[in-house]
Amino acid sequence: MNENRMRTTVGSMLVLMGILAACGQEPARDFRQVLQEVRVCASGATVDGIDVSYWQGTIDWDAVASAGIKFAIIRTGDGWFEDPQFERNWSEARRVGLYRGAYHFFRPNKDVDEQADIMVRKLGRLGPGDLPPVIDLENESLYEPYTLSQNIDKVRRFMDRVEAGTGRRVMIYAGKYFWQDAFNSTDAFLDHPLWIPQYGPTCPDIPAPWTDWLFFQTFSQGRVSGISGNVDLDIFNGDLGDLEALANGSAPGGGGGGNTQDSGTLQGVVFEDVGAGTSDMSHRLPGASVELSDGSSTVAGAGDAAWSFELAPGTYTVTASLAGYGSASRTCTVYAGQETWCSVGLTGESSSGGDTGGDTGGDTGGDTGGDTGGDTGGDTGGDTGGDTGGDDGTVDTEGKGMIYGLVVNATSVTDPNDLSDAEPVPGATILVDGRFTITAGDDGYFETWVEPGDVALLASAEGFEDSGNDCVVVEGGAVECNIFLPLETDTQQDGSDQSDVSDLYHGCSSVTPAAGSSGMLWLLLALGLLTSRRRRQQ
């Protein structure tokens, strides 16, 4: 690591030397190698950007561009949920001349293919000006129900499917301690670049095995012209020319030596073309022969009919054949350090049609992990009405709607229309319609599917008074229904104990103020319960 990339204080260096001496070891002569394990600074110039979702509301993108922002990474969705502002943000970012990227908050207990398909459907084949797609990995409690190999498999299948559909290598958003806890610092994805979130330091402390980062999320409560409220701030590790090259398809690398720059990967699947081209690759043809114009050959793998070659940069023709089907060919170009998808569709000998173009699919295998309660927003229990999912890990949503939101500390709310600064209440228990309970996640977030109609929520947590909200759920829709918990007091004004949940009403119009609460606080609570736009911390 270059010396100008590693920064520390003299005091930190002396402490490190003292620790080594106390352990009977000689301090390292070259501190750069040691400091690389602590902080990794940008290689030189950086470029300012933001990441956004519908929590930022309707953004004035002209004002954002005028503020000096050069790139924006935009949320496509969260698990099954599709961000309602994505299409507008995606088109507006391009209109004002920003380099644009997209991220998807991945939930391991949701169907992997469905999540990947949301991203692929919204992005299509990425082109000039588009940054690599991102899988957002966070909240280790979501991953605790699964083994390390299961988590790796889920993430890999998502990325393979997105890469097949978009034509670009996926970048990983993950924090240092999340990666250490949830993925045991595995090097399974070392060839994928890192977007590191860390607030405070100028140079982030990145998780092993990465030795470098591509993007750095520096702050979650930034202010940028054109955006009402807080927004995440990011920087790109490079100058504007480097960012342009990345947005035009140059391989970003993984920062750990896993990216071979003098060769590239040509890969794809062989599928039966049912007349929809590569927009429907669900009918795979394992065992098909795959031959390249340079004489290389292989057989499409069992199950997913996948194939892959490591090749020198250049243009190759891929020909696939299988008994009972007509042969078909595609010509694709391999770039140094990049993955090029070149799937081939075959038609039955009595059929017509062919491979119609871009690869928009990938691994179609189902999610093998059932919903075992790792989803912090899902229904993790319940006696009579909880939606716990089927044996295949899917949730029964037939005839239902989604209700979701945040449980926050009421005393931390300064603006009922903006909860970005509000203190979440992790692990709060939420009684849904008096029938079953769910648990808020570490970020206070919850979600569950319920029958349509007026749904009552009642939340409780240690140290807080019970409080609730009523919201109307429609079939097939999603409604945000946030809950504000006041700090616990010993008694009500009449002296009766408030610990018994059954003594309290729930709903917007029936929350009972605690003794000593100010009128202004409860006015804010009432306003908060009537508003629906909240920004959830990403």
Q: CATH number, domain at 300?
A: 2.60.40.1120
Lowest mean pLDDT among 40-54, 214-228, 496-510: 496-510
Same domain, 14 and 32: yes
The number of distinct structural domains making up the chain is 4
Task: State the pLDDT at residue 357.
Answer: 41
d(CA 411, CA 413): 6
Same domain, 100 and 9: no
Task: State the pLDDT at residue 417.
Answer: 65
Task: State the pLDDT at residue 351.
Answer: 45
Contacts of 178 (CB under 8 A, 6+ apart): 137, 138, 139, 140
**H-only helix segments in 364-518:** none
CATH number for the domain spanning 176: value is 3.20.20.80
- What is the average pLDDT value for the chain, to the nearest integer? 77
- Report the candidate in 298, 272, 282, 287 with the shortest Cα–Cα distance to residue 363: 282
Task: State the pLDDT at residue 397.
Answer: 65
Q: Give Cα 175 distance to the centre of its chain.
A: 12
Mean pLDDT across 274-299: 84
Residue 365 lies in a domain: no
Same domain, 236 and 90: yes
Same domain, 223 and 297: no
Contacts of 147 (CB under 8 A, 6+ apart): none
Residue 518 scores a pLDDT above 60: no
pLDDT level of residue 441 (50, 70, 90 thresholds): confident
Residue 502 scores a pLDDT above 60: no
Task: State the pLDDT at residue 396.
Answer: 58
- Report the candidate in 125, 52, 116 with the shortest Cα–Cα distance to residue 83: 52
Instruction: State the DSSP code for 502.
Output: G
Same domain, 116 and 9: no
Q: Give Cα 503 distance to the centre of its chain.
A: 40
- Report the candidate in 49, 104, 111, 148 with the shortest Cα–Cα distance to residue 367: 111
Task: State the pLDDT at residue 253.
Answer: 60
Residue 502 lies in a domain: yes
Output the CA angle 151-363-194, nearest 5 degrees.
50
Task: State the pLDDT at residue 71.
Answer: 98
Mean pLDDT across 348-376: 44
Task: State the pLDDT at residue 524.
Answer: 45
Percentage with pLDDT > 70 across the chain: 71
Mean pLDDT across 352-376: 40
Pair 161, 183: CB distance under 8 Å: no
Same domain, 427 and 474: yes
Distances (CA, A) of 296 to 262, 299, 316, 340, 483: 18, 11, 10, 16, 61
Mean pLDDT across 218-222: 94
Same domain, 208 and 234: yes
Residue 44 lies in a domain: yes
Element (H or E) spanning 528, and its range? helix 519-530
Pair 341, 167: CB distance under 8 Å: yes
Mean pLDDT across 431-452: 86
Residue 361 lies in a domain: no
Domain region containing 502: 401-530
Same domain, 285 and 326: yes
Lowest mean pLDDT among 80-89, 142-151, 234-243, 313-322: 313-322
Same domain, 92 and 114: yes
Residue 386 lies in a domain: no
pLDDT in tens, 4-20: 333 333 334 434 444 44
Task: State the pLDDT at residue 505.
Answer: 28
Highest mean pLDDT (candidates 219-233, 324-338, 345-359): 219-233
Residue 103 lies in a domain: yes
Task: State the pLDDT at residue 372.
Answer: 38
Contacts of 256 (CB under 8 A, 6+ apart): 187, 190, 191, 209, 210, 211, 212
Task: State the pLDDT at residue 500.
Answer: 37
Distances (CA, A) of 216 to 185, 213, 238, 483, 533: 19, 7, 11, 32, 27
Pair 277, 346: CB distance under 8 Å: no
Mean pLDDT across 96-105: 97
Contacts of 263 (CB under 8 A, 6+ apart): 310, 311, 312, 313, 336, 337
Mean pLDDT across 397-416: 83
- Rg of the Cα atoms in the chain: 26
pLDDT level of residue 278 (50, 70, 90 thresholds): low
| Residues belonging to the active site | 51, 136, 138
- Report the candidate in 126, 121, 189 with the shortest Cα–Cα distance to residue 154: 189
Write down which residue in 346, 369, 393 finishes a domain.
Answer: 346
Lowest mean pLDDT among 99-108, 213-222, 328-337, 413-422: 413-422
Task: State the pLDDT at residue 451.
Answer: 86
Sign of the C-alpha dihedral, residues 254, 258, 261, 266? negative
Same domain, 34 and 106: no
Percentage with pLDDT > 90 across the chain: 48
Buried-state track 8-31, b at ≥16 Cβ within 10 A, e below 16: eeeeeeeebbeeeeeeeeeeeeeb
Residue 177 scores a pLDDT above 70: yes
Three-class SS string for 93-129? HHHCCCEEEEEEECCCCCCHHHHHHHHHHHHCCCCCC
Residue 479 lies in a domain: yes
d(CA 462, CA 487): 9
Please, is 531 exposed, middle or buried when counting C-beta atoms within 10 Å of its C-beta (0-12, 13-18, 19+)?
middle
- Report the candidate in 53, 57, 85, 76 with the shortest Cα–Cα distance to residue 533: 57
The residue type of 19 is: I
pLDDT level of residue 360 (50, 70, 90 thresholds): very low
- Report the candidate in 187, 355, 179 with the shortest Cα–Cα distance to residue 275: 355
Cα dihedral 176, 535, 507, 457 in deg (nearest 10): -30
Same domain, 202 and 284: no
Mean pLDDT across 224-241: 96
Task: State the pLDDT at residue 373.
Answer: 39
Q: Which phi and psi angles does 195 have, rounded to 5°?
A: -110, 115
Same domain, 289 and 190: no
pLDDT level of residue 452 (50, 70, 90 thresholds): confident
Report the predicted TM-score, pTM, of the whole model to 2 decimal places. 0.49
Largest CA distance in the chain: 88
Task: State the pLDDT at residue 279.
Answer: 58
Mean pLDDT across 106-129: 94
Residue 286 lies in a domain: yes
Task: State the pLDDT at residue 448.
Answer: 87
Instruction: State the DSSP code for 472.
Output: E
Mean pLDDT across 498-520: 34
